[in-house]
Structure 1
């Protein structure tokens, strides 16, 4: 069921497209030797070597990431860097078409067809040209090493084997076991591919004349960004089947690869050109897909807004607004649900909630003039407060969970009572945050510049991450730095 908070639909990314940048955040730092990821030659061939993406596929993928982002200077820089990197690979005759995506997530991926995609969220996080080039070199390596085809082939082969055992040999139990085991094989295969792409990417980076240590700097910034989310209680727990190795593990690998090439200072970072290219690009959520301003969420297209209770940090995801307290003991979810004509709110609540609703807890209410139904559900480890609210023609679901037996009222009641219509004046006044590059002057400090950041919390840490500054390191007069401004 579509949740129209943003246009991102992660399900569109099939196995051939799983070439993501972010890794999980588990604390693993051991070095693993890179291993070539190869499908055994005796495996039955289930796909062709190259899988081209049609224009329709491209359009769907771009739409799933918020559409194409128009930033001529940034696109020109990414395209120039891509051309330079390709010439330094083992396949210098290949060509790539670059598309910038209007998404705040930090992501980049390349398709076997030669299409390369970079989000504006990634451009905002990188601090110089060599860092951005490191990501591009990694994604290009996936293509030159034919990783997508190999992974898809292995996935289809595993599915074929388990189906044959289950259906043809009439052994469903063994077929299910083989399918479960194949998930672990594919996860390890994917992580091996990531290490291999990291190693090849660093070598390409150096051959193209960029600083090979840019890969480690970017992954460090990514890891620090994930840490900020953990501190706010928003990061999910690491998935043992994640296709990417842990970010600290990758940092160790790419740092060792760069050291094998030479000492720090080799190659260029081209920071000034990079910052000039990203100056003014949008930062964070697109207003059309909903904006978070502190504890307030505003969605002008759906015409609804609310304010989270004290202590909750909010995250606007593709399908819902999620919130949590720093200790994780209280969580909330706000999403849009599709309803059938004439379907009542009580029916909506029951149809969209898997667990039992407490007998006698269903209550009809009016919330700021909107009809609503609230209820209670108790799980083994969580106490839930639920509501369905109809605002105009849209129906929204609100869920607050408290760990243990503690009832999340009255916080839930305050949250429910905050639901309001977004006025046309408020919708027109919403503007995306953007990056502004400023030059430090004598007397400027990291603390002082961070106070100019239009962020809800931890402004100093966010300023340091965006500008590649270690904690305690000051700014230098005459050097450019990124700020997030309205």
Structure 2
């Protein structure tokens, strides 16, 4: 029942019931407060940003006025997540992540996102999708249970998935077309949709290249529920050209930049922050560094790391031991299903009691470490493909682990979006120097500001940078 449209998708939420907020839908398709709470839990909760929220509300009101009554009442929630995404529930709840907000460079771009989500609701796409899925499930059940033909059942299931993918793909393109028309009626620049989609594509390429993977390596397969970005850009550009040539409609970049200045960039400080290969958590008062060549990403309750070649992966989290349980017995019991833990060694890490061990799975070799600080146990899992033993990189991790002093913990501050007016001699490189803690700061500066590689900066114009 959740319609996710951009970037990093989350699983679909189950259907339920609730009071209607927007266009009438059947009882089986009504979203519930429980689904709303699950979304908040999955995406870090609600982030309260009065200026950004006011700007979003104004955009929706203008879209509603231009929609001649076709657009009902919508409630917007800003999700406290660095991922880039936007959603709509069939009852009219709209969601945008703060990660998406900081990528937009003017009001017309964010208007295209909201108009796209509203189009999904007014076009009843979630309802149609649910009906199609029910039909597909019924066909598969008949084939597998009535015809008793497993091979035929597999073929039907594959065909059903393909038809669902094409159906959803068409929904996305339809929502794009509707959104371009609606933002133009509301007085916004209809080309804002193509600019923002281009930024989304560049954001995906930026993230993928951080793991030595090009955008081409991440091509959407034929079962994807979303068209590839170039196809969508071409479609919305053609739709905008049918309305007018470039240069019409409102952008109001100054208003939008003012609305998002000060928004956090990246992880919520409550989950810890990543500074290059370092992870610091002011709440837990701990820090460690990933091995050379690793990229880290902090999420709620854990940290994930991946090596540049993708051959090694790191996970860090914490647990509490049961009463009477020792570190050695906990590690010996094995916390990874299907992995035999051996070579358990009692050591000291960062001045704290700890245990290290190694394990072997079917396709991966593991190094494990558990550090006890008070009642909490911090766990490191380092996995390497095949039979290569990741002992050396694990040693570098545990050697870097330490507890933070109160002063150090207090000094850990979140990164935020700041606006800097360009001087006459400023370049992309000089602006990037303002973001020394960021990975590939030059590329990030271009991405955040929608700039080409060799673009010249306009003196006096404000640009987004990431700073404490």
* 2:28 matches 1:22: no
Displacement of 1:224 in angstroms is 1.4
The aligned residue for residue 233 of structure 1 is 211
- Most deviating of 73-82 and 381-390: 381-390
The 1-side partners of 2:436 and 2:115 are apart by 32
| RMSD of Structure 2 on Structure 1 (CA) | 2.9
Displacement of 1:179 in angstroms is 4.4
The aligned residue for residue 363 of structure 1 is 345
The aligned residue for residue 353 of structure 1 is 336
Displacement of 1:91 in angstroms is 4.7
- Most deviating of 338-347 and 315-324: 338-347
- Most deviating of 187-196 and 362-371: 362-371
1:417 aligned counterpart, secondary structure: helix
1:100-139 aligned at under 5 Å gives the runs: 100-139=78-117
The 1-side partners of 2:324 and 2:232 are apart by 53
The 2-side partners of 1:157 and 1:299 are apart by 48
1:361 aligned counterpart, secondary structure: strand
Displacement of 1:87 in angstroms is 2.8
Task: State the Cα deviation string for residues 136-183 of structure 1 (Å, max 9, x = none).
Answer: 111111111111111122223333443455557766776566445433
| Count of aligned residue pairs for this structure pair | 448
Q: Is the 8 A contact 1:107 1:118 kept in 2?
A: yes
The 1-side partners of 2:284 and 2:139 are apart by 46
Change (3 A) 1:377 1:181: farther
The aligned residue for residue 277 of structure 2 is 295
The aligned residue for residue 306 of structure 2 is 324
The 2-side partners of 1:408 and 1:366 are apart by 19
The 2-side partners of 1:145 and 1:91 are apart by 14
Gaps of 5+ in 1: 1-15, 25-46
* 2:147 matches 1:147: no
The 2-side partners of 1:452 and 1:193 are apart by 42
Change (3 A) 1:461 1:166: same
The 2-side partners of 1:317 and 1:247 are apart by 26
Displacement of 1:371 in angstroms is 3.8
1:384 aligned counterpart, secondary structure: strand
The 1-side partners of 2:99 and 2:105 are apart by 12
The aligned residue for residue 471 of structure 1 is 453
* 2:397 matches 1:410: no
**Higher RCO (CA 8 Å, separation ≥ 6 residues):** 1
The aligned residue for residue 66 of structure 1 is 44
The 2-side partners of 1:407 and 1:301 are apart by 33
Change (3 A) 1:319 1:299: same
Task: State the Cα deviation string for residues 87-142 of structure 1 (Å, max 9, x = none).
Answer: 33375351111222222111211211111112211111111111111111111111
1:172-183 aligned at under 5 Å gives the runs: 178-179=156-157, 181-183=159-161
1:410 aligned counterpart, secondary structure: helix
The 2-side partners of 1:167 and 1:206 are apart by 52
* 2:378 matches 1:396: yes
2:4 aligned counterpart, secondary structure: coil
